[in-house]
Amino acid sequence: MRSYLLPSILFITDIVTIVIVAFISLFIRFDGHIEPQYINQMVDALPLLLISYMLMFLIMHLYTRIWRYAGMREVLAVFVATTIGTALFYFSMFVFGKSLPRSIYFITWFLTTGAVGMGRMLLHYVALHYSSGDDGESGQVNTLIIGAGDAGATIAREIERYHKRSRRVIGYVDDDMFKHNRLMNGFRILGNREDIPALVAKYKVEEIIIAMPSVKRDIIQEIMEICSPLKCKINILPGMYQLLDDEVLVSHLHPVSIEDLLERDEIQLDTSKVETYLKDKVVLVTGAGGSIGSEICRQVLRVKPKKLLLLGHGENSIYLIHQELRNI
């Protein structure tokens, strides 16, 4: 029953939104002075307008998407649905011999795209906030990220989306002075490595994440000399040679070990030896939602199996790795 509740609410909301937008379009087009004939024309055109838009919304699966994980693909789906829906509406009006001022079609498209898109993004943020839970904020760990680059941005984004119950990002630290006081993913770059002790004290930081997988080990050693005296949990991303395909996930974080401070030769993975066993075969990966299983899935997909089957206990983790693999 619950699986049909949200789509039904969205469906009804979209119908109401389209009707309201239709008359707002008239109001905008005629500067508030609408002649009765145009109101009658719009009322007469409403069935075609609703059918055109709602049909495209159904075709673009706007009621079967999980909006908590919405991204650019979902935004594009809304844009395509309203654009083709408007074209279909215009064509239907022509076929049935009905008329409206041409500017009405553009205004209706613009307002509908904005209203539906904003509504879905609002749903996205509400879903994230609800899943995070306000009651979990007391258990959040104040986290400072060292490195305001691609890896740091990815870690902050993943924490904000999937680990908000356990962590709260305070901001970044980066030695590039031109980045200082700027925002990245909504979090401020607070200073350089020398400012770490003061920032830890000021913001009561409990965890430091070193998100600099491509830097030399002597820089990591220098950062560790600053961070070690602080009463913080220190986690680090492994080197780039360990991050296959430059994938950066919170699951890759681990406490700093002696190996992280030592220079090592890059490891080249040879997949050709297993490619003959997996290519064009049906492959089943058990535990596919875990950190090891998901990495196995990524590597298996690279050798082009006929079909890759994912099996695991957690529905959410399986969904996430499935969505990721679809984009590879």
Contacts from 259-266 at CB under 8 Å and sequence distance 24+? 260/217, 260/220, 260/236, 261/217, 261/220, 261/221, 261/224, 262/217, 263/216, 263/217, 264/239, 266/241
Domain ranges of the chain: 2-132, 138-261, 272-326
pTM assigned to the model:
0.52
Query: In CATH, which superfamily holds the domain spanning 138-261?
Result: NAD(P)-binding Rossmann-like Domain (3.40.50.720)
Looking at the predicted structure, is the pLDDT value of residue 246 above 60? no
> pLDDT, tens digit, for every residue of 254-300?
566 544 555 554 455 566 777 778 888 999 999 888 878 888 888 88
pLDDT in tens, 61-109: 998 887 776 778 888 999 999 999 999 999 999 999 888 889 999 999 9
Residue 171 binned pLDDT confidence (cut-offs 50, 70, 90): very high
Amino acid letter for position 241:
Y
* In the block, residue with structure tokens 């006081």: 181
